[in-house]
Chains A and B, each alone.
Chain A
C-alpha cells in the first residue's frame, strides 16, 4: 500500500466530497490499519544516532514537514538557512492544518517509513511516543553539543529513557493577559479569581473545551499546587488532595462568575476573540496573542504576566512549543543536522522572537535589547518558560491527556463530582499506561 498518499478522508478536512467525509469508521479503520500492520518491530533501543559533526559537510536538499505555517516562522527559517548555508537547500512542507492533523500525517509517514520528510516539527508532547516506536534518529550527541545555548526546561521535553530525541526549536508557556484599568496583576490564582468575580467586566477566560488545551490549563494549576500526574518513576499520582483542590477551585470559579461559563466551549482562538471584545479582565493564552492584541483597541490597556502561583506556593506552568526531530528514514541526515544547528543558534533565536513572536529556546535572546523592543514581556515570558514543567512523559500521552481532559470537563460542566472524576482519572491513566 502506498503510504505517501494524501490524507485519509476522515482526517482531511479539506476533502471536497461529503460522502468521503461521512465514510464509515470502518473504511478508515481498514486503510489505517493496513498501513500499520506491516511495520517491522523496532524500538527506541536500536535507533541510529545523529552525528553532530556531519552538519559541517552537508549538502543536498532537506525537507521539513509540519503543521500549517501560520506565523511564517518555518518557511522563514528554511529560507534564511538556505541563504546562510549555501550548500544545503531547505524547504518547508505543510502537512496538516491543525496540530492534531499534523500528528496524524506525521505518524502515517513514520509508520510507513516514508522518506519524504527529513525533519518533522514535533509538538513537545509527541517525543516519547515517537521515540518509543523507533521512528526518530537519536539526537543525544547533537543536543549535548548544543546544550549551552538551550534553556534546560526546553531540552527536557525532548527526553525519553535518558536519551534526547529532538532539538527544541521554539518554546511556549502560558501567560496571563490582564486589563490594567480594571484588574490587578495576578500574584496568585486565588487573587486572580477573586478579582475576576468582583465586577461583571472582570471575568477570566481560559481554554475549557474538551481537548488538549484543557489538560494544559488544568495542569498549570495542578503543578502550582504541587500536584502531579506521574511521579519520577512513572507511578500514577493524580489521585491526590491537590487534584481535588484544583477541581473544586475551578468549578467554584465557574459558579461564582470568576470565569465565564462560555469557556467550556473555548479553545485558544475563541478565548482570544472573547477577550478582545473588552468584556473580560483576564485571559490565559500563549505568547502569540500579544501581537494580535496589539492590533485591537485594547492595545494600550492590557498587561502581560507570568502564570500566577497557588496561594502560598510557587508558580509553575506547563511547557509547550515545537521541536525538530530527524526522521529515522531521512535520506539526508547530515542536512537535517545542519538545519538544526542553524535554527538553534543564538542569532537565529533572536529572529524567532523578533520576527515571529515566538519564545526562543536560547536564554540570552530574552535580554537582547532588540528582542525586548519587539517583545516587551520577554522577562515575564522567560520566567514562565523557566518555571514550566513538561506534561507527563509517556509514550501513551494522548490517552493520559484524554483521561485528564474528559474527566476535568465532566466536573466543570457539572456532570460528575470531583470524587468520581479523580477516581476515573486515576483508573484511566493506569489503564492507559498498561496498554503500552
Chain B
C-alpha cells in the first residue's frame, strides 16, 4: 500500500478509448495471478477463520463442533493472551524504535562519500542475511551464564552484569531479545532509509548551504522531513514483523520471564496441544492485531507519505 503511494503519480485520469482497452488488457493479464493470490491467501485465511469457530476434539482426531465465537471469548478472557499481547507490544515498541534511530544513523553514515563505501554497505547487511534461528542460538550462547562471552567479558572487566543470569530474569530476558532483534534487523531499516536518503536531490542541500543553514538545521529541517516516508515505511515493515515474533523468544527463553509472544502462544496450542480451534483463534487474533496496527500506521503516518509525495511533485 505504502509503496504505491510513494511512487510517482499516474498522471491525469482522462479515460480515452485507448485507455479503457489498455485497462481491459491489463486486467486480463493480471487475472491469473489474482486468482492464484486468492487461492493461496484468501482460501487458507478463510479456512483458518472457519477452524477458529470450531472446537476440535483431542479425544477423536478430526471431530469438530461449531462453537461460534467461544474460542475467541475464551482467549480474550484468559490471562495468557493478554500477557502475550502486552509482551509482544512491548517488544515491538522497544525494538522498532531502536531500529529506526540506529537505522537512520547508519543510513546517514553509509550515505557519506568515502572509500570502501560499497564494501561497508554489504558488510553492514550481514546480520540481516543470517537466519533468525541461527542468530538466536548465537545470542543464547553469548549470554549463557558461567561461560557465555558477554558474562565473561563483563566479569573480566569488573563491570556489573557479570553475575546476572540474563535469560533467567524478568526484564533482562526481554532486553536480550530486543538487542538480538535490533542487531539483526537494523541493517534492513538502514537500507530502506538509505534509499530514501538517496532520492533527496543535491540541489536542496546546495540551496540550504547558500542560505547559511548549519549542519544540524539542514538535518532537522530538510533531511528528516524528506526522509519521513522512508522511515514510516521501515516502521511499518518492522512493526508488522515484530508483532509476529516467534523464533527469538522461542529459542532464547521458551517464553519464560515475560517473553512469550502471541505467535508462541498460538504455536503451543496448535502444535504441542493440538487444540486446533483455540490455536486458530489465537492466530487470527495475532493477525488482527498486526492488521489494526498497520491500518493505524497507514492512516496517521501514511498520510504523511501521501502529503510528501504530493509536495514532491
**Contact residues of A with B, CB < 8 Å?**
10-11, 13, 15-16, 18, 21-34, 36-43, 100, 104, 107, 111, 132-134, 209-211, 260-262, 264-265, 270, 273-274, 277, 279, 395-396, 398-399, 402, 406, 409, 413, 415, 435-436
Contact = CB atoms under 8 A, between A and B. Distances in A.
B51 A26 contact: no
B59 A43 contact: yes
Contacts of A25: 244, 246, 262-263, 266-267, 270, 282-283, 286-287
Interface stretch (B114-122, B167-175, B212-220, B302-310): B167-175
A402 B48 CA distance: 25
A260 B146 contact: yes
B103 interface: no
Given A18-B132, A211-B254, A262-B146, A33 B48 contact: yes
Given A36-B56, A402-B272, A28 B267 contact: yes
A209 B256 contact: yes
Contact of A104 (B246, B271, B290): B271
Contacts of A33: 47-48, 51, 270, 276, 279-280
A273 B148 CA distance: 11
21 contacts: A22-B245, A22-B246, A24-B290, A25-B246, A25-B262, A26-B283, A28-B266, A29-B51, A29-B279, A41-B62, A43-B59, A133-B60, A261-B165, A262-B146, A262-B168, A264-B165, A264-B256, A277-B146, A402-B272, A435-B58, A436-B59
Contacts of B272: 100, 398-399, 402
B128 to A, nearest CB: 8
A399 B169 CA distance: 24
Contacts of B204: none
Contact of B61 (A11, A100, A134, A402): A134
Given A25-B246, A34-B44, A277-B147, A396 B273 contact: yes
Contacts of B245: 22
Contacts of A435: 58, 273, 275
B70 interface: no
B266 A265 contact: no
Interface residues of B, number: 57
Contacts of B275: 435
Contacts, number: 167
A41 B51 contact: no
Contacts of B257: 413, 415
Given A210-B253, A413-B169, A262 B270 contact: no
B196 interface: no
A211 B168 CA distance: 13
Contacts of B279: 29, 33
A402 B268 contact: yes
B145 interface: yes
A210 B256 contact: yes
B51 A264 contact: no
B270 A274 contact: no
B273 A210 contact: no
B45 interface: yes
A29 B58 contact: no
B290 to A, nearest CB: 7
A279 B62 contact: no
Given A16-B131, A26-B45, A34-B44, A10 B246 contact: yes
A33 B267 CA distance: 12
B47 A30 contact: yes
A22 B247 contact: yes
B146 A42 contact: no
A22 B131 CA distance: 10
A409 B169 CA distance: 11
B109 interface: no
A110 to B, nearest CB: 9
B60 A18 contact: no
B268 A29 contact: no
B48 A30 contact: yes
B63 interface: yes
Nearest to A100: B272
Nearest to B261: A25
Contacts of A104: 271
